[in-house]
Amino acid sequence: MSDLRIRLSQNAPLLTAVVVFALFYVFYNMNHPRGFSTAVLIQNSNEVFTLAMVAMAQTLPVLLGGLDLSVGAIMTLVNTIASHLLNGGPLQIIFGFIVCLAAGAACGFVNGCVVVYGRIQPIIATLATGAIFMGIALFLRPTPGGDVDGDLSWTATNDLYEIAATYGFAQDGDAAWFQPIAWIPVPLLLLILVAVCIWLPFARSVTGRTVYAVGSGEGAAFMSGLAIDRAKIAAFTLGGLFAGIGGLYLALQTSSGNADIPQAGAYTLNSIAAVVIGGTSLLGGVGSAIGSIFGALILRTISFNFRIFEIDPLMQPLFEGVVLLAAVSLGALRVLRVKNSLELFR
Amino acid sequence: MTSVPSDPPASRFRLSEDDKPIVVAASFIVIILAIGTAYTLSTQGTATLLSPQYLLQQLQVGAFLGIVAAGMMLVILLGHIDLSVPWTIAAAAMMATTVGGPAAIPVGLAVGLLVGLVNGMGVAYLRIPSMIFTLGVNAVMRGLMVAHTGGFAPQTAATDLMQYLAVGKILGIPVALLVWAAVSIGVMVLLQRTSFGKSIYAIGNKEAAAYLAGVPTKRMIIGAFCLCGMAAGLAGTLLAGYSTKAYQGMGDAYLLPAIAAVVIGGTHILGGRGRYIGTLIGVILIVLLNSVLSIMQMPEAGRQVIYGSVIIGMLLVYGRGRKVTS
The tens digit of pLDDT for each residue in B157-184 reads 788 888 888 888 888 788 899 999 999 9
> According to the 3-state scheme, what is the secondary structure of chain A?
CCHHHHHHHHCHHHHHHHHHHHHHHHHHHHHCCCCCCHHHHHHHHHHHHHHHHHHHHHHHHHHCCCCCCCHHHHHHHHHHHHHHHCCCCHHHHHHHHHHHHHHHHHHHHHHHHHHHHCCCCHHHHHHHHHHHHHHHHHHHCCCCECCCCHHHHHHHCCEHHHHHHHHCCHHHHCCHHHHHHHCCEHHHHHHHHHHHHHHHHHHHCHHHHHHHHHHHCHHHHHHCCCCHHHHHHHHHHHHHHHHHHHHHHHHHHHCCECCCHHHHHHHHHHHHHHHHHCCCCCCCCCCCHHHHHHHHHHHHHHHHHHHHCCCCCCCHHHHHHHHHHHHHHHHHHHHHHCCCHHHHHC
Instruction: Please give the share of chain B, as a percent, with pLDDT higher than 70.
Output: 94
The residue count for chain A:
346
Chain A, nearest residue to B137 by Cα: A325
Most A CBs within 10 A among B78, B87, B128, B289, hence the mutation to make, goes to: B128
Chain B residues whose CB is inside 8 A of the A76 CB are none
pLDDT score, position B106: 92
CB contact under 8 A, A317 and B146: yes
Q: How close, in Å, is residue B298 to chain A by CA atoms?
A: 11
Per-residue confidence of chain A (346 residues) as pLDDT tens digits? 578 888 888 788 888 889 989 998 998 888 888 877 888 888 889 999 999 999 999 999 999 988 899 999 999 999 999 999 988 888 999 999 999 999 999 999 999 999 999 988 898 899 899 999 999 999 999 988 888 888 888 888 888 888 888 887 777 777 888 888 888 899 999 999 999 999 999 999 999 999 999 999 888 999 999 999 999 999 999 999 999 999 999 999 988 888 888 889 889 988 988 998 888 888 888 889 999 999 999 988 888 888 787 777 788 888 888 888 887 787 677 777 777 777 777 6
Chain A residues whose CB is inside 8 A of the B259 CB are 124, 127
The least confident of A111-125, B5-19, B306-320 is B5-19
In whole angstroms, what is the distance from residue B269 CA to residue B280 CA? 16
pLDDT score, position B7: 52
Nearest-CB residue to B143 (from A129, A135, A319): A319
Nearest-CB residue to A318 (from B131, B144, B306): B144
pLDDT score, position B1: 41
pLDDT score, position B200: 92
Chain B residues whose CB is inside 8 A of the A265 CB are 252
In whole angstroms, what is the distance from residue B99 CA to residue A213 CA? 53
**Tell me: domain B54-315, CATH 2.60.40, correct?**
no
Q: What value does the mean pLDDT of chain B take?
A: 86
Nearest-CB residue to A317 (from B132, B142, B270): B142
Nearest-CB residue to B127 (from A120, A135, A335): A335
Q: Is A91 on the interface with B (CB under 8 A)?
A: no
B-facing residues of A in 123-152 (CB < 8 A) are: 123-125, 127-139, 142
Q: Is B269 on the interface with A (CB under 8 A)?
A: yes
Nearest-CB residue to B140 (from A114, A282, A318): A318
pLDDT score, position B13: 61
Does the pLDDT of residue B12 top 60, yes or no?
no
B-facing residues of A in 5-64 (CB < 8 A) are: none
Using alpha carbons only, give the angle B202, B208, B212 rounded to the nearest 5 degrees: 85
CB contact under 8 A, B304 and A269: no
Chain A residues whose CB is inside 8 A of the B315 CB are 118, 120, 124-125, 128
Most B CBs within 10 A among A127, A210, A218, A340, hence the mutation to make, goes to: A127
Q: Is B143 on the interface with A (CB under 8 A)?
A: yes
Q: How close, in Å, is residue B307 to chain A by CA atoms?
A: 7
Please give the biggest Cα pair distance in chain B.
76
Beta bridge partners of B245: B157
Q: pLDDT tens across A64-121, in order?
A: 988 899 999 999 999 999 999 988 888 999 999 999 999 999 999 999 999 999 988 8
Q: Is B301 on the interface with A (CB under 8 A)?
A: yes
Chain A, nearest residue to B321 by Cα: A119
In whole angstroms, what is the distance from residue A103 CA to residue A244 CA? 7
Chain A residues whose CB is inside 8 A of the B306 CB are 135
Given a contact cutoff of 8 angstroms between Cβ atoms, the answer to whether B166 and B242 are in contact is: yes
Most B CBs within 10 A among A268, A314, A343, hence the mutation to make, goes to: A314
Given a contact cutoff of 8 angstroms between Cβ atoms, the answer to whether A211 and A63 are in contact is: yes
Residue B322's identity, in one-letter code, is R
Among positive and negative, which fits the CA dihedral B182, B184, B190, B192?
negative
pLDDT score, position B2: 46
Q: Is B317 on the interface with A (CB under 8 A)?
A: no
Q: Is A87 on the interface with B (CB under 8 A)?
A: no
Does the pLDDT of residue B141 top 50, yes or no?
yes
Choose among B249, B295, B312: nearest CA to B94: B249
Within 8 A by CB and 6+ apart from A277, the residues are A17, A294, A295, A298, A299, A327, A328
Q: Is B34 on the interface with A (CB under 8 A)?
A: no
Please give the residue that has the higher pLDDT: either B147 or B74: B74
Chain B, nearest residue to A268 by Cα: B135
Domains in chain A (CATH in brackets) are 40-175+183-325 (1.10.3470)
pLDDT score, position A49: 93
Q: Is A320 on the interface with B (CB under 8 A)?
A: yes
CB neighbours of residue A32 within 10 Å: 16
Nearest-CB residue to B139 (from A123, A130, A321): A321
Number of A/B CB contacts below 8 angstroms equals: 176
Chain B, nearest residue to A331 by Cα: B128
CB contact under 8 A, B311 and A128: yes
Residue B103 pLDDT level (bands cut at 50, 70, 90): confident
pLDDT score, position B326: 67
What residue spans define the domains of chain B? Answer: 54-315
Question: Strand B169-170 and strand B173-174: pairing?
Answer: antiparallel
Choose among A69, A61, A55, A65: nearest CA to A123: A69
